[in-house]
Amino acid sequence: MRKVMIIDDDVPMLRYLERMIEWESLHLQVVATAFSSVKALELFREKDPDIVITDIGMPQIDGIELATRVREINPAVRLIFVTCHEDFGYARSAMHLQADDYLIKYELTTEKLMGSLQKASKLADESRERIDELSFREELERHKDQIKKQLWRQLGGKLDEQKASQLLQKIGMRWELPRFMLAAATVDYASLLEHYHYEDLDLIHYAFYNIAEETAADWAPVLIIPQEQAGKFVFILNYRPNLAVNIRKEFEAYLEKLREKIKSYLKIEMRGIISGELNGLGAIKTAHEQLMEAQQALYYKPWTISHLSDDAPSIWTVNDQEFKRYKDELLLANEKQDLNALEAVLERMEHYARTVMLKPQLYVYHLSQMLRSLDYEWNIQHEKEHLHALLPHIISSREALQLAKQHVGKLGGMQDRGETMKEPRLHEINEYISTHLAENVSSVSVANHLYLNPSYFSRYFKKIAGINFTEYVHRYKMDIAKQLFEQGESVEMVAIKLGYSDRTYFSKVFKKYIGISPLDYKSNK
């Protein structure tokens, strides 16, 4: 049985609506009534109704604003508006909120109300089915990821081709062509941490994966397998050789296109390396090992997209005696709290390691130990272990250097990165709002634009902005409204330009956030 809530500041009308129909005959139950919009919000949170019938013209919070707030609490709630006036502005606002009906009180009959409730119930059923289907798809996607990881373990261990084929079929793929090509890609963690927190690695991993799959859909059926370390992926292409097509060049073009999208959407860099032609599934394990060795050989070189080559393997030195001197210099610069001197020492360390071709693991070890010394000096706990856990996964000395410089930059308050980490993403959100000012910008539309899960985006946005998204949009638009009023624009025109179809509602929002009405603001200017 669905739960119904009725809200009207006219108590006789409230009681009339409550007794107007046999609720149980429609499999409905009135669980709450309220004649105050403030009380209604409290009851809504407590009773969690499926359908809300609300008056529009109420004091304190009108029905449109009330409906907006209950939709923030439960986006699936069905809305039916009742009003004394046939107001086009209110009707437009109701349409924006995707209300199920807009009823005029003096025309209201039992049949009309029953029809609206039946329509709302039917739409609630359809919405529930869509949510269930979406949940099923999300569960299926999570299941697919697990199957992909099982498949990767098969390919990297003792290969059972029949089992590998069965796993492929479970995710809707077949490998029936004679040749394979492999690629490995990783995000540039230094560029990632210029814009995000360590805690966001899984989020970026998810967004990268979605963009990679979407980009592959425009080219070929590439199997993309997320690796255990967030930000790392393997790509497997199954194909038939064709003298007219250079598959390796095509694969490189795909990775380059993916790199451009990752940089555009997520503001981060990536690196990728491609194998040669592989004969059969059994060659994938060896090819992956070769790709990992090739990545290490490129550790001290500038690169983004590369190929597995036949060059002789790198010869590393293990002479790390110079690092004692660098450690002393680093601690001296630290005593002086000289950020420039600290960064200069880190630059010299990387230059030395690159010049003598120091074994990458040794460079990472010394870099980590020196940063731990600084952490100890400053009694730093937050995020330090994240950094040290990440350093061994870095595939470029310049990237490791950049991470180290970011780390020392925040020691002892030398560089406040709290706001700078928020600003790039907020800047992108602001850009989206500013280009869609005349629209009802929702958290879902922005989340889709940023390749993020909507529910995650809402929590993430509250974390970085300190307020919910709807309130942020209102504040943003009211700041624009002030500028437009100062340019002589009318209230009606400003409301339309900012996506508020109802002038009365716009005026209430403006007064709420600015403190005075639009007309008073204009007259003061």
What single DSSP character describes residue 228? S
10 shares its domain with 63: yes
Provide the residue type at 34 as one letter: A
Q: Fill in the DSSP letter of residue 391.
A: G
> In this structure, are 122 and 23 located in the same domain?
yes
Q: What is the pLDDT of residue 451?
A: 66
Q: How high does pLDDT run on average in the chain?
A: 85
Q: Are 457 and 498 in a shared domain? A: yes
Question: Do 58 and 125 reside in the same domain of the chain?
Answer: yes
Q: Please tell me the least confidently modeled range out of 189-198, 230-239, 361-370.
A: 189-198
Question: Domain end: 385, 413, 441, which one?
Answer: 413
Instruction: Give the pLDDT band (50/70/90) at residue 478.
Output: very high
The model's confidence at residue 419, banded by pLDDT at 50, 70 and 90, is very low
Phi, psi of 461 (to 5 degrees): -65, -45
Contact 518, 485 (CB under 8 A): yes
pLDDT at 272 over 90: yes
Can you say whether the dihedral through the CA atoms of 266, 270, 275, 280 is positive or negative? negative
287 and 330 housed in the same domain: no
* Helix boundaries (H) for 308-442: 322-335, 339-356, 360-378, 384-390, 397-409, 418-435
CATH number at residue 242: 3.30.70.270
Domain that holds residue 390: 322-413
Residues 244 and 183 in one domain: yes
- Continuous H helices in 157-240: 161-170, 189-195, 201-217
Pair (201, 275) in one structural domain: yes
**Number of compact structural domains in the chain:** 4
CATH, residue 457: 1.10.10.60
DSSP structure class, residue 449:
H
Give a yes or no: residue 137 inside a domain. no
- What pLDDT digit, counting tens, does each position of 351-383 carry? 999 999 999 999 999 999 888 888 766 665 554
CA–CA separation, 505 and 89 (whole Å): 9
Going across the sheet that includes 78-83, the strands are 28-34, 2-7, 51-55, 78-83, 101-104
How confident is the model at residue 414, as a pLDDT? 43
Q: Are 500 and 513 in contact (CB under 8 A)?
A: no
Q: What is the pLDDT of residue 428?
A: 78
Which DSSP symbol is given to 358? B
pTM of the model: 0.55
Please tell me what DSSP assigns to residue 56.
S
Which tokens is 50 given?
């499926």
Q: What is the CA radius of gyration of the chain?
A: 30
Statement to judge: residues 276 and 355 lie in one domain: no
Residues 398, 447, single domain; the answer is no
Output the pLDDT for position 415: 41
Asked if 477 and 437 touch (Cβ cutoff 8 Å), the reply is yes
Identify the weakest region by mean pLDDT among 213-217, 333-337, 508-512: 333-337
Per-residue pLDDT tens over the stretch 93-120: 656 667 888 888 888 899 999 999 999 9
Residue 146 belongs to a domain: no
Name the 3-class secondary structure at 52.
strand
267/328 same-domain check: no
DSSP H or E run through 239: strand 232-239
Is 456 within a domain? yes
**Contacts (Cβ under 8 Å, ≥6 apart) of 488:** none
Q: Highest mean pLDDT: which of 5-9, 124-128, 368-372?
A: 5-9
Neighbouring residues of 199: CB distance < 8 A, sequence distance ≥ 6? none
Q: Are 40 and 49 in contact (CB under 8 A)?
A: no
Element (H, E) at 131: helix 110-156
Q: How far apart are CA 359 and CA 363, in angstroms?
A: 7
**Mean pLDDT across the stretch 382-391?**
76
Instruction: Choose one of 130, 164, 192: the last residue of a domain.
Output: 130
For 75, the 3-state DSSP assignment is coil
Distances (CA, A) of 466 to 415, 469, 509: 22, 9, 19
Whether 506 has a pLDDT exceeding 80, the answer reads yes
Q: Is residue 17 part of a domain?
A: yes
> Residue 169: inside a domain, yes or no?
no
Paired with 104 in beta bridges are 83
* Shared domain check, 267 and 217: yes
Residue 279 scores a pLDDT above 90? yes
Q: What is the pLDDT of residue 376?
A: 66
> What are the residues facing 306 on neighbouring strands?
273
| Helix or strand (DSSP H, E) at 137 | helix 110-156
Q: Are residues 349 and 390 in the same domain?
A: yes
Task: Decide if 314 is inside a domain.
Answer: no
pLDDT digits (tens, 9 = 90+) for 324-357: 899 889 888 887 778 888 999 999 999 999 999 9
Last residue of one domain, picked from the residues 130, 155, 188? 130
pLDDT band at 310 (very low <50, low <70, confident <90, very high): low
CB proximity list for 36: less than 8 A, separation 6 or greater? 9, 60
Chain center to CA of 48:
28
Question: Closest by alpha carbon to 376, among 368, 113, 221?
Answer: 368
What confidence score (pLDDT) does residue 136 get?
Answer: 54
Question: Does residue 107 form part of some domain?
Answer: yes
| Among candidate residues 340, 329, 327, the one with its CA nearest the CA of residue 367 | 327
pLDDT at 314 over 80: no
Q: Highest mean pLDDT: which of 182-186, 241-245, 494-498?
A: 182-186
Instruction: Please give the pLDDT value at position 315.
Output: 87
Instruction: Give the DSSP letter of residue 60.
Output: S
Q: Is the pLDDT of residue 385 over 80?
A: no
In a domain, 162, yes or no: no
